[in-house]
Chain A
Amino acid sequence: MRYGWIAAGGAAGAVSRWGLGAWLAPAAAGGFPYATLAVNLLGAYALGWMAGRFSAKDKSSAVYHGAAAGFLGAFTTMSAFGLEAWTLLADGRSVAAAAYVAASACAGPLLANAGLRAGGAS
């Protein structure tokens, strides 16, 4: 049952990420992976908030499995980040690559921390 909720959330999360990427594609005309960055930072804050909001007991609920492990896990992605950063480096766009890597490395954990705090984590 647990995996059923995770799979359902994962399907919705992957489709949302893909749809947002297609929608943001014109904005990414400069070749900077804004879509992945936006999705990842948004998901980091949201998962932090959920992790802070839900008690240990509630984390075994269907809602948490579907929304956290399923939707937010699949909505955000590390594989696209790795490939995009590598591609920027391989194309010799080292400033863009450095900005992308620095934003992904710093802003995500900071936003997750802000989410945890907003969710009431001790």
Chain B
Amino acid sequence: MSVLILAAVAAGGAVGAALRAAALRRNRASHRLPYATLAVNVAGSFLLGWMAGGGVANPVVAAGLGAGLLGGFTTYSTFAVEAATLSRAGRRRRSAAYIALSVATSIAAAGAGTALAP
């Protein structure tokens, strides 16, 4: 069972990371904030909340989609480096806004997903 779960997490992580990389190509230097990262993180948080609330019964599927796909799709490291980079460029208020927005919307999206789960 645990080998199956491991394989499911690996497969989910591979797909999630590739999907994120494709989505983050939409981050543009001309944008005031890294909207693509924000969108990826909010969408992934909503879906993880929805999954947790709905209770995916099969543990292999749950691990593959939750810890694997959605864990690999959403990212904290890119968020942190983007926030630090904005701050280093002298955009301190923008960095603070990005941090507040990312944290608040991820929590709210997870809560909304839980509430809207079947």
Interface of B is mostly: helix
Contact B84 A109 (CB under 8 A): yes
| Residues 97-122 of chain A, each 1 if its beta carbon lies under 8 Å from chain B, else 0 | 00001001100111111011000010
Q: How many residues of B are counted as interface, with CB atoms below 8 angstroms from the partner's CB atoms?
A: 54
Residue B14, interface by CB 8 Å: yes
Quick check: A48 and B81 within 8 Å, CB to CB?
Answer: yes
The A/B interface has a contact count, at CB < 8 Å, of 198
Q: Which residue of B lies closest to A43 (CB)?
A: B77
Q: DSSP class of A's interface residues: helix, strand, loop or mixed?
A: helix
Find out whether the CB atom of A48 lies under 8 angstroms from the CB atom of B48. no
Q: How far is the CA of A12 from the CA of B17 in the complex (A)?
A: 10
Q: Kindly provide the distance from the CB of B62 to the nearest chain A CB, expressed in whole angstroms.
A: 12
Cβ contacts under 8 Å, B12 to chain A: 14
State in angstroms the CA–CA spacing of A14 and B84 once bound together: 24
Q: CB distance A80 to B103 under 8 Å?
A: no
Q: Knowing A81-B76, A82-B45 touch, does A70 contact B106 (C-beta < 8 A)?
A: no
A interface list, Cβ under 8 A from B: 2-3, 6-15, 17-18, 21, 40, 43-44, 46-48, 51, 65, 69-70, 72-83, 85-86, 89-90, 101, 104-105, 108-113, 115-116, 121
Q: How many angstroms between the C-alpha atoms of A14 and B18 in the bound complex?
A: 12
Find out whether the CB atom of B9 lies under 8 angstroms from the CB atom of A108: no
Is the CB–CB distance between A79 and B74 below 8 Å?
yes
Q: Nearest 8 A-B pairs (CB), nearest first?
A: A10-B17, A14-B13, A82-B45, A82-B106, A44-B80, A82-B110, A74-B72, A108-B80
